[in-house]
């Protein structure tokens, strides 16, 4: 096999960058392909540029963001072949990567592959969530990081998870006081069981408390136990309506930012037919991986949030561990060297992973926001398929799974390829059928996983 590189890495977030730096340090020829124009992924998005040309914005984003600069610099110091604004749209089983960049489409043959495509925000389907003026908390954070933009007018944050509070505190530092933070977290007592381990994870508890403290002292109204959330408006979001302790409320809003945690971005791994399994605590599918990040497909490793949500620091460590595994698989380091180098990384990784059971239990999304009850709620934003229709097809027509749902109503067949509705459709079908999500399964994802034009395909130089 005439490979173009030893290790192809898809994604330039913490896992991909750390893997690339580790691989380069071991003498591997590594290539990093990433959709974005700058390294860092979403978590460290634009960190180089903020640190050099927008230094006034750095303190708004906080120390954890600024810390990404070290990683990006470590990556920049290597000879890794870095290809920004490059979208991988197909990977063949022989590890041929097919991508699209500014010049058109191209191929790359790799000996080992690392998928480091990170996380995406879990959809929070509720009435009105497709209106202009509704975005995700992650989107607002991307605008702050990449463009120095902040919400204008009355902004309401709603949902669950650490990012809700992190974004609110960043906005407060930027001089934007949210009109309210509406929390849908159900606060189950079982999370407390994991509290002691959480307290031992480096820095997590202190950060959480300091974020909450900052919001309190800024006087941001925090409303817990929010149910029946909906967004009303005709051409755009005008107000948020919800229920608390049996009372209905309505608050005007110019911008509503939704969030209920992040889930692995599995499209590329699914398109390669890597085995996945349902994670019931995190309420998502994740690839089945060994302790090195190796998937069920030979030569395919997965690191970072794409293999199961672990956070930025842990992702970085898991990327380095996967790079060691790739180097060993290529015969470049001995088993002993691999294990010795991995041991310190894994100890540190373990310390960070202590935070997960508490966070995953505390912020496990509520049933009403993963399997919407209001029949008019749009589930598939692309094809505008509503929750009521999906339920009716399952209970009335015997539609058993997500792939059959495609045939009935084109659900998941629009441009996003099920990225936003996939988990919701699985959850709805599981609820209606009264079976576990694992049994319902997920959409069968096929390439191209990113859009290519017919003209692109026609220009391909392939043997038939």
C-alpha pair distances (Å), 408 with each of 302, 390, 394? 33, 9, 10
- Taking each helix axis from N to C end, the angle separating 312-329 and 14-25, rounded to the nearest 10 degrees, works out to 40
380 within 8 A of 411, measured Cβ to Cβ: yes
How far is it, in rounded angstroms, from Cα 8 to Cα 109?
8
How far is it, in rounded angstroms, from Cα 227 to Cα 242?
6
Q: Which is nearer to other proteins, 235 or 463 (CB)?
A: 235
Q: Please name which of 388, 391, 392, 370 lies closest in space to residue 378, comparing C-alpha atoms.
A: 388
> Left, alpha or beta for 106 (phi > 0: left; psi -120 to 50: alpha)?
beta
Minimum distance from residue 13 beta carbon to other proteins (Å): 11
Integer Rg of the chain from CA = 22
How far is it, in rounded angstroms, from Cα 391 to Cα 388?
5
Q: Which is nearer to other proteins, 297 or 420 (CB)?
A: 420
Q: Give the three-class secondary structure for 243.
A: strand
90 within 8 A of 98, measured Cβ to Cβ: yes
Minimum distance from residue 11 beta carbon to other proteins (Å): 11
Q: Give the three-class secondary structure for 397.
A: coil
Minimum distance from residue 148 beta carbon to other proteins (Å): 4
Q: Which is nearer to other proteins, 202 or 415 (CB)?
A: 415
Minimum distance from residue 416 beta carbon to other proteins (Å): 4
How far is it, in rounded angstroms, from Cα 301 to Cα 323?
9
Minimum distance from residue 133 beta carbon to other proteins (Å): 6
DSSP category for residue 194: G
Q: Please name which of 374, 129, 433 lies closest in space to residue 255, comparing C-alpha atoms.
A: 129
Please give the structure tokens belonging to residue 57. 């914005």
Minimum distance from residue 446 beta carbon to other proteins (Å): 17
Minimum distance from residue 404 beta carbon to other proteins (Å): 20
Residue 376, Cα to own-chain centre: how many angstroms?
A: 26
Minimum distance from residue 57 beta carbon to other proteins (Å): 6
Please give the structure tokens belonging to residue 283. 């309420």
C-alpha pair distances (Å), 448 with each of 12, 89, 96, 102, 416? 20, 5, 13, 17, 11
Angle at 45 between CA 64 and CA 26, to 5 degrees: 80
297 within 8 A of 304, measured Cβ to Cβ: no
Contact positions vs other proteins (CB under 8 A)? 35-37, 42, 46, 49, 53-54, 56-57, 85, 87, 120-121, 130-136, 138-139, 142-143, 146-153, 174, 235-236, 254-255, 265, 381-384, 414-416, 419-420, 451
Q: Which is nearer to other proteins, 263 or 302 (CB)?
A: 263
Q: Which is nearer to other proteins, 54 or 83 (CB)?
A: 54
Minimum distance from residue 186 beta carbon to other proteins (Å): 25
Minimum distance from residue 266 beta carbon to other proteins (Å): 12
Phi, psi of 241 (to 5 degrees): -120, 140
Measured from the Cβ of residue 359, the count of other Cβ atoms closer than 10 Å reads 21
Minimum distance from residue 41 beta carbon to other proteins (Å): 9
Kindly tell me the burial class for residue 77, based on how many C-beta atoms sit within 10 Å of its own C-beta (0-12, 13-18, 19 or more): exposed
Q: Which is nearer to other proteins, 74 or 381 (CB)?
A: 381
End-to-end CA, the chain:
19
Q: Which is nearer to other proteins, 150 or 205 (CB)?
A: 150
Minimum distance from residue 163 beta carbon to other proteins (Å): 13
């Amino acid at each position: 096999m005439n490979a173009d590189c030893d290790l192809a890495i898809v994604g330039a977030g913490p896992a991909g960058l750390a893997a690339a730096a580790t691989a380069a340090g071991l003498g591997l020829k590594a290539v990093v392909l990433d959709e974005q124009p700058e390294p860092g992924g979403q978590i460290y998005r634009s960190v180089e540029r903020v640190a050099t040309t927008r230094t006034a914005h750095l303190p708004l984003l906080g120390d954890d963001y600024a810390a990404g600069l070290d990683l990006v610099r470590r990556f920049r110091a290597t000879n890794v072949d870095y290809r920004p604004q490059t979208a991988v749209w197909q990977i063949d089983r022989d590890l041929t990567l097919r991508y699209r960049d500014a010049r058109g489409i191209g191929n790359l043959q790799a000996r080992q592959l690392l998928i480091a495509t990170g996380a995406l925000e879990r959809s929070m389907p509720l009435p009105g969530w497709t209106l202009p003026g509704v975005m995700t908390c992650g989107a607002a954070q991307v605008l702050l990081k990449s463009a120095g933009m902040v919400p204008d007018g009355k902004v309401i944050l709603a949902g669950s998870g650490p990012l809700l509070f992190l974004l609110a505190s960043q906005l407060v530092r930027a001089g934007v006081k949210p009109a309210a933070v509406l929390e849908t977290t159900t606060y189950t007592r079982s999370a407390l069981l994991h509290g002691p381990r959480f307290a031992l994870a480096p820095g997590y508890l202190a950060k959480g408390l300091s974020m909450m403290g900052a919001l309190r002292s800024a006087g941001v109204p925090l409303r817990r136990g929010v149910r029946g959330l909906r967004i009303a408006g005709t051409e755009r979001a005008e107000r948020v309506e919800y229920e608390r302790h049996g009372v209905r409320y309505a608050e005007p809003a110019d911008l509503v930012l939704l969030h209920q945690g992040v889930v692995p971005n599995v499209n590329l791994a699914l398109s390669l037919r890597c085995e996945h399994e349902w994670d019931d605590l995190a309420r998502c599918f994740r690839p089945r991986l060994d302790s090195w990040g190796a998937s069920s497909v030979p030569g395919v490793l997965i690191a970072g949030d794409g293999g199961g949500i672990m956070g930025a620091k842990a992702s970085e460590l898991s990327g380095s561990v996967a790079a060691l595994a790739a180097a060993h698989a290529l015969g470049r380091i001995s088993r002993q060297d691999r294990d010795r180098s991995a041991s310190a990384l894994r100890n540190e990784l373990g310390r960070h992973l202590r935070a997960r059971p508490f966070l995953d239990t505390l912020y496990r999304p509520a049933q009403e926001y993963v399997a919407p009850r209001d029949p008019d709620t749009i589930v598939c934003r692309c094809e505008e398929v509503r929750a009521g229709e999906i339920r009716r097809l399952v209970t009335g027509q015997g539609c058993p799974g997500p792939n059959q749902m495609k045939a009935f109503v084109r659900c998941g067949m629009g441009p996003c390829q099920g990225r936003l509705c996939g988990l919701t459709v699985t959850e709805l079908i599981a609820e209606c059928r009264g079976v576990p999500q694992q049994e319902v399964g997920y959409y069968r994802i096929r390439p191209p996983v990113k859009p290519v034009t017919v003209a692109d395909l026609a220009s391909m130089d392939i043997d038939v």
